[in-house]
């Protein structure tokens, strides 16, 4: 860029800083010479460095200073030296020493500990304390720690190795010394910068166009500051939905576009709806505490007729005595399939055919790791239609996963308690050159449908975990990262666009 044109792009802060760059080797010197505040000088240096007018380097320096107690001990001496001075001529009891010297209980106890290490005192019977020859020598020469305190009053420069040991000893004690790291920014002009500092920098440029400038025409005869549209600028992140909610909204729209209605319901349900209505035996392992979050109290069951139908089916199929008390146990829903059962129970034959979906939270007593959460999203769907068949099931699932971004979908035979036939859904992930399992599906068993609907009818059903579906799109390898609420991740993660 032409130097004269570059000068026309300079910000007012840069213009104020440039005349002082020759005589300013550090940020602090530039502040002092230019009258700029620290933040103004920092901004000027950053912008000038972007324009290759100068280079800055950072240099860390250790600063050793006295803390509150250290400043006090620089005048009165360290407590152990005050202690020794008190018993220099005569031995005293501990209480007498504290009274004469003015030391606190804490200071007196610290002094005894320090002086015993140095063999500077003798504690006699009756807690009489006297000074030793070593103590007299310490008192005359002072300790290395005291000499360091007196040095720090005058200077904050580098310490010798011996002084550093003394500093570490004092750091273990309360508010005597402190260590800080300061960053020193040094400035060096480039060849371009040397040329510009030799130029006359005019400040008679209009930097901001205001209504008053337009009204009184004070812009006439003046130049406007050029704007460099190629310069690096900070990224601006717009406000947006959480990326998981973006994906959920997209998935819901897919089901709506396919003619499905959305189901809704409560998170806390009776075990009747969560398990019994889904033909899950009352002694099945999934109903144990290690898998499920049960809630204290009891839940209300639906009408007696429906409950009796489910009870009879269980006792006929599973050959056990079904207990109403077990069905009344409240539970955080372990799957959104509970809504499928509730929806089917409210339908009449004249309402058919019907298609429903739900996308919601579920809760299981899982050990938290890279692939498992104890709170997770699931998308359930059902199609209640006398003419529905297995090929329709595969078609709905393939359509959904295609629209979610997976081009290749395959199905494998599987087993689930309340569907027959049952399948596992796999999708192909090109980046990993592998198939990944995303959930299960099937046709509800007659033993489940007949008690809650009143007759046997085909019901296509699926319920894949939704969180795992998102991980490939967002390049997330640990499922916990979906909800860690890292602000950097939330700002930078890509939008859901399919």
Output the DSSP codes for 195-229. Answer: HHHTS-----EE-S--HHHHHHTTTTT-EEPP--T
**How far is CA 82 from each of CA 69, 96, 171, rounded to the nearest angstrom?**
14, 13, 20
Distance of CA 98 to the CA centre of its chain: 52
**How far is CA 438 from each of CA 395, 420, 462, rounded to the nearest angstrom?**
16, 19, 11
Tokens 């290395």, residue located: 144
Please check whether residues 473 and 424 belong to one and the same domain: yes
- How far apart CA 11 and CA 168 sit, in angstroms, is 47
Please check whether residues 55 and 161 belong to one and the same domain: no
Please check whether residues 27 and 126 belong to one and the same domain: no
> What is the pLDDT, as a whole number, of residue 157?
65
- How far apart CA 339 and CA 358 sit, in angstroms, is 8
Domain end marker among 163, 178, 193: 178
SS3 107: helix
The answer to whether residue 237 is domain-embedded is no
Residues 307 and 316 sit within 8 Å (Cβ to Cβ): no
Domain end marker among 190, 205, 220: 205
Domain, as residue range, for 137? 66-178
- E strands, 67-161, in order: 92-93, 121-124, 128-131
The answer to whether residue 218 is domain-embedded is no
Spatial CB neighbours of 398, under 8 Å, sequence gap ≥ 6: 409
> What is the pLDDT, as a whole number, of residue 362?
94
**3-state DSSP helix/strand/coil % of the chain, to nearest 5:** 45, 20, 35
Structure tokens at 317: 């199929």
- How far apart CA 200 and CA 371 sit, in angstroms, is 65
Which backbone phi and psi does 434 adopt, to 5 degrees? -150, 160
- How far apart CA 119 and CA 140 sit, in angstroms, is 15
> What is the pLDDT, as a whole number, of residue 417?
85
What CATH number is attached to the domain comprising 167?
1.10.10.10
Q: Rounded to the nearest 10 degrees, what angle do helices 144-154 and 161-171 cross at?
A: 100
What is the DSSP code string of 237-285? ------HHHHHHHHHHHHHHHTTPEEP---SEEEHHHHTGGGT--TT-G
What letter would DSSP give residue 481?
G
Please check whether residues 299 and 437 belong to one and the same domain: yes
The answer to whether residue 294 is domain-embedded is yes
Please check whether residues 267 and 126 belong to one and the same domain: no
Q: What element of type H or E holds 146? A: helix 144-154
**How far is CA 404 from each of CA 73, 93, 181, 193, 249, rounded to the nearest angstrom?**
71, 84, 51, 54, 11
Q: Closest Cα to residue 494, out of 237, 232, 251, 253?
A: 237
Structure tokens at 211: 């209504």
Q: Closest Cα to residue 118, out of 102, 101, 132, 100?
A: 132
Please check whether residues 139 and 276 belong to one and the same domain: no
Please check whether residues 93 and 124 belong to one and the same domain: yes
Burial of 54 (0-12, 13-18, 19+ CB in 10 A): buried
Please check whether residues 324 and 193 belong to one and the same domain: no
The answer to whether residue 221 is domain-embedded is no
Q: What element of type H or E holds 97? A: helix 94-101
What CATH number is attached to the domain comprising 476?
3.30.930.10
- Residues of the chain whose pLDDT is less than 70? 1, 155-157, 289-290, 498
The answer to whether residue 217 is domain-embedded is no
380: which strand partners?
Answer: 358
- How far apart CA 329 and CA 320 sit, in angstroms, is 19
What is the DSSP code string of 41-63? HHHHHHHHHHTTSEEEEEEEEEE
> What is the pLDDT, as a whole number, of residue 289?
66
The answer to whether residue 74 is domain-embedded is yes
Please check whether residues 115 and 41 belong to one and the same domain: no
Please check whether residues 349 and 450 belong to one and the same domain: yes
Please check whether residues 31 and 114 belong to one and the same domain: no
- Total domains, the chain: 3
Distance of CA 116 to the CA centre of its chain: 50
- How far apart CA 139 and CA 130 sit, in angstroms, is 13
The answer to whether residue 409 is domain-embedded is yes
Domain end marker among 178, 193, 219: 178
Tokens 């005597």, residue located: 176
Please check whether residues 355 and 268 belong to one and the same domain: yes
The answer to whether residue 236 is domain-embedded is no
Q: Closest Cα to residue 176, out of 185, 167, 184?
A: 167
Torsion sign, CA atoms 9, 12, 14, 16: positive
């Amino acid at each position: 860029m032409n130097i004269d044109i570059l000068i026309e792009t300079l910000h007012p802060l840069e213009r104020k800083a440039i005349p002082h760059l020759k005589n300013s080797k550090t940020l602090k010197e530039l502040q002092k010479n230019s009258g700029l505040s620290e933040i103004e000088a920092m901004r000027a240096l950053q912008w000038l460095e972007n324009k290759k007018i100068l280079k800055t380097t950072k240099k860390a320096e250790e600063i050793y200073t006295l803390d509150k107690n250290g400043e006090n001990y620089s005048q009165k001496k360290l407590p152990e030296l005050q202690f020794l001075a008190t018993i220099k001529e005569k031995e005293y009891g501990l209480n007498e020493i504290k009274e004469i010297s003015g030391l606190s209980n804490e200071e007196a106890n610290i002094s005894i500990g320090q002086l015993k290490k140095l063999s500077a005192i003798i504690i006699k019977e009756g807690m009489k304390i006297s000074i030793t020859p070593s103590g007299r020598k310490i008192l005359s020469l002072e300790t290395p720690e005291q000499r360091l305190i007196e040095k720090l009053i005058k200077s904050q420069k580098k310490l010798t190795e011996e002084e550093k040991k003394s500093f570490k000893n004092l750091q273990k004690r309360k508010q005597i010394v402190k260590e800080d790291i300061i960053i020193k920014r040094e400035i060096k002009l480039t060849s371009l910068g040397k040329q510009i500092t030799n130029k006359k920098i005019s400040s008679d440029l209009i930097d901001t166009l205001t209504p008053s400038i337009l009204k009184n025409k004070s812009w006439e005869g003046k130049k406007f500051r050029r704007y460099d549209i190629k310069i690096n600028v900070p990224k601006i992140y717009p406000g947006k939905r959480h990326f998981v909610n973006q994906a959920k909204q997209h998935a819901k729209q897919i089901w709506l576009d396919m003619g499905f209605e959305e189901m809704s319901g409560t998170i806390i349900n009776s075990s009747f709806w969560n398990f019994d209505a889904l033909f899950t035996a009352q002694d099945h392992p999934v109903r144990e505490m290690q898998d499920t979050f049960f809630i204290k109290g009891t839940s209300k069951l639906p009408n007696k007729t429906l409950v009796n139908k489910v009870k009879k089916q269980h006792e006929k199929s599973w050959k056990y005595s079904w207990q109403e008390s077990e069905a009344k146990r409240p539970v955080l829903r372990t799957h959104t399939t509970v809504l499928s059962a509730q929806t089917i129970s409210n339908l009449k034959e004249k309402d058919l055919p019907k298609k429903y979906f739900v996308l919601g939270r579920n809760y299981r007593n899982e050990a938290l790791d890279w692939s498992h959460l104890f709170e997770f999203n699931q998308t359930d769907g059902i199609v209640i239609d006398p003419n529905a068949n297995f090929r329709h099931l595969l078609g709905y699932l393939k359509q959904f996963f295609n629209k979610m971004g997976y081009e290749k979908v395959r199905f494998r035979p599987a087993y689930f308690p309340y569907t027959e036939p049952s399948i596992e859904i796999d999708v192909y992930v090109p980046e990993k050159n592998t198939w990944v399992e995303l959930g299960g599906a099937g046709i509800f068993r007659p033993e489940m449908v007949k008690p809650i609907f009143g007759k046997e009818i085909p019901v296509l059903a699926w319920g894949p975990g939704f969180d795992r579906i998102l991980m490939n799109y967002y390049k997330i390898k640990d499922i916990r990262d979906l909800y860690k609420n890292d602000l950097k991740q939330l700002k930078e993660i890509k939008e859901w666009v399919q």
